[in-house]
Chain A
């Protein structure tokens, strides 16, 4: 039997994670290709005349903010998808939602002028289209063999979107380089304009998530029981999936194909505080932000001046973790 410790207090955990996030962001400001002594960071950030001000304010700060926003979005999306299909192995990346969003972004990059807002919208639409088969299958995803079915659908969706992506990059090779950079999953050369796209979407989706946090708990029961409690199960699930697609699309449109945040973070948080959403969701957002900030800091400082692709870095952690979840029968 798994030890049933009393659920950790939500407020304390939220405060702790928030402090850790601030700490990680501060450390991240000082690290990078150009080292800035820790005690000068704050001064340089506030003093426009400081030689490092531009680097800190125009390059590192928006990048850290973006990493936090992307991580929070992906972790929330993961938690929402996992609740919708009632299976903790689900993840926007594994189910093909991320590559659907990637396909949407690619279509925009190739066929339409590269206006960033349109790119986000296209990525969100792609994610939304990809989530349809997930929804169709969600009813049976908790039953026997549900995990296997879920993963098979993910394989099929990823193969389908992958082939569409390959064909488009083949036929429009001249316009593809932008996309190749995109597939790696990186926050390189992102600035305030990107923040101004993702932040409002995350805030908007965050409000939706906050409003749904109590009703979503009904999806932790089987459909019949949830319906008998007067919960509009299908509409609620659709809403949760739409929010997940919007969050994934926004994240993908600025950070490219970053995976596994949506799998790792909600599972770790759920193990600590249980599956109830009022606690789970805020902690997922903070945990996702923390993981992404740490990963991006490592990506740009570990081999500086070379930049490691953060998507690959996260997959290094996420892949083995996923295997461990499967082996342990956590589905």
Chain B
């Protein structure tokens, strides 16, 4: 299948002089798939997401959306197609949930006009899908960590983009909300044909919900493919330095970690 968003030979560094944190990375995001980026801390997951989301200019290589270089696209057009949630988004004290989620409509509404009812329909849907409708009048800074994460996800959903780039969307969520969120993301890929790229720490979650997994190590792609292809014992040892094995029982993956490989 043809890639929707594609990175070719990506070398990324945070500042001009610093050593690259991602090197010669090729990655493709296909329409309607959930792609999980896994890897140990500092393996380049967040940096890769930043480059895919046009937040970081590659030192070498390029990222294309439908075969067009992303920096050549008008910024609003890009924002209508690709939404990105950073790891720790913040907003000013006192902002209310509904106002935050409405910000997701910026790329669609005329910047000079108040949003119309049609513009705001996706806001309602996003609140509903993330189970945050009852929080709409609350101040974002009065919410718990998990609630806050969900309303930010609602903001990104309201953006109604073809590709969602999410940096550890499950961090800070309890078991049930983690499950609900991952099910929601998978549903988005199935129903809307959205593509979702997630940096994710829980390998069982990646294996269970992702269509494909890319394993990063030291800024390079170690492996990619279906969960069973990518998360082999050998790759886990090489990437994470642990003896571990992914087992499948009745379609559910479980990770058995034997111990430190070194």
| A positions within 8 Å CB-CB of B | 1-2, 4, 6-7, 86, 88, 142, 211, 214-215, 217-218, 220-222, 224-225, 227-232, 270-271, 274-276, 278, 330
B112 touches A211 (CB 8 A): yes
The secondary structure that dominates the A interface is: loop
Contact partner of B113 (CB less than 8 A), chosen from A214, A218, A232, is A214
Complex CA distance for A63 and B142, rounded to whole angstroms: 44
CB of B79 within 8 A of CB of A214, answer no
Contact yes or no, B99 A217, CB < 8 A: yes
Instruction: Name A221's contact: one of B54, B93, B103, B159 (CB within 8 Å).
Output: B103
Residues of A with C-beta under 8 A to B95: 220, 274-276
Mark B residues whose CB is within 8 Å of A. 53-55, 75-80, 82-86, 89-96, 99-100, 102-104, 106-107, 109, 111-115, 137-139, 142, 155, 159
CA distance A86 to B102 in the complex (A): 19
Can you name the residue of chain B whose Cβ is closest to the Cβ of A330? Answer: B93
If A214-B112, A222-B91 touch, whether A274 touches B142 (CB-CB below 8 Å) is: no
Give the number of residue pairs across the A-B interface with Cβ within 8 Å: 101
Are A1 and B55 touching (Cβ within 8 A)?
no
CB of A82, distance to nearest CB on chain B (Å) = 9
Question: Taking A224-B86, A230-B75 as contacts, is the C-beta distance between A217 and B103 under 8 angstroms?
Answer: yes
Contact A86 B106 (CB under 8 A): no
Flag if B103 contacts A229 (CB, 8 Å).
Answer: yes
| 23 pairs, A vs B, C-beta closer than 8 Å | A1-B142, A4-B138, A4-B142, A7-B96, A7-B137, A86-B92, A88-B92, A211-B112, A214-B113, A220-B92, A221-B100, A222-B89, A222-B91, A224-B89, A225-B85, A229-B107, A230-B78, A230-B80, A231-B75, A231-B106, A274-B94, A278-B114, A330-B93
Give 6 nearest A-B pairs by CB, closest first. A230-B79, A230-B76, A228-B84, A230-B107, A229-B106, A220-B92
Q: A4-B96, A274-B95 are in contact. Are A225 and B89 (CB under 8 A)?
A: yes
Q: Does B111 contact A225, Cβ atoms closer than 8 Å?
A: no
Q: Which residues of B contact A217 (CB under 8 A)?
A: 99, 102-103
B111 touches A222 (CB 8 A): no
Docked complex Cα distance between A215 and B110 (Å): 9
Which residues of B sit under 8 angstroms from A88, Cβ to Cβ?
92-93
Complex: how many Å from CA A86 to CA B91?
A: 9
Residues on B with beta carbons closer than 8 Å to the beta carbon of A6: 137
Q: How far is the CA of A230 from the CA of B100 in the complex (A)?
A: 15
> B54, B77, B90, B95 — which one has the most chain A CB atoms within 10 A of its CB?
B90
A214-B113, A224-B55, A231-B106 known; A2-B137 Cβ under 8 A: no
